[in-house]
């Protein structure tokens, strides 16, 4: 599979060599995840051959209300990657204390960020958070309250939404 480098406009202070190195790394990560993925719960594609915009299909974690769900996720990777983490947005409705109604998540999930982290680490973190929500600092307070006060209702609703929206 050929990878086309459709690179968004870069800030002028970066050298072409730095940009090329970052693109090479990102291309290598994409190739590793798309061709020889070490996990069976993740698929990646480029959006419009843009190396900085990935479409991810992540299977919900086993033993969670999200099990068997296929969660479509948009990753917008900044030109500063790997020095900045990707912007993440679920493209399907997710009933979860850490996911907003518009599919955005709390970016602090990836902090502290370091250039050693990879896109696989981002996806693994997202999958872990599905199974183990942070209800102490929720993004969606009403769902967090239900999680804390009526877990059975939370679990049933999360399973229902997963069946309905994460097909």
Positions marked active-site: 106
Six token digits for residue 66: 């999200």
Q: Which long-range contacts (CB under 8 A, 24 or more apart) does 161-164 make?
A: 161/93, 161/94, 161/95, 162/60, 162/65, 162/66, 162/67, 162/68, 162/69, 162/95, 163/69, 164/93
How far apart are alpha carbons 77 and 102 in whole angstroms? 19
**Whole-number Å distance between alpha carbons of 42 and 159:** 20
């Amino acid at each position: 599979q050929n990878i086309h480098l459709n690179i968004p406009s870069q800030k002028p202070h970066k050298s072409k060599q730095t940009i090329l190195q970052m693109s090479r790394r990102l291309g290598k990560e994409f190739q590793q995840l798309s061709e020889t993925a070490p996990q069976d719960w993740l698929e990646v594609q480029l959006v419009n051959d843009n190396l900085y915009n990935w479409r991810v299909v992540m299977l919900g974690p086993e033993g969670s209300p999200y099990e068997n769900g296929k969660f479509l996720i948009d990753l917008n990777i900044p030109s500063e990657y790997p020095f900045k983490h990707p912007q993440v947005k679920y493209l399907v409705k997710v009933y979860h204390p850490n996911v907003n109604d518009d599919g955005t998540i709390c970016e602090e999930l990836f902090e502290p960020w370091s250039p050693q982290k990879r896109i696989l680490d981002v996806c693994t973190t997202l999958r872990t958070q599905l199974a183990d929500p942070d209800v102490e600092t929720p993004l969606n307070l009403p769902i967090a309250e239900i999680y804390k006060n009526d877990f059975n209702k939370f679990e049933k609703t999360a399973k229902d939404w997963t069946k309905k929206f994460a097909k």
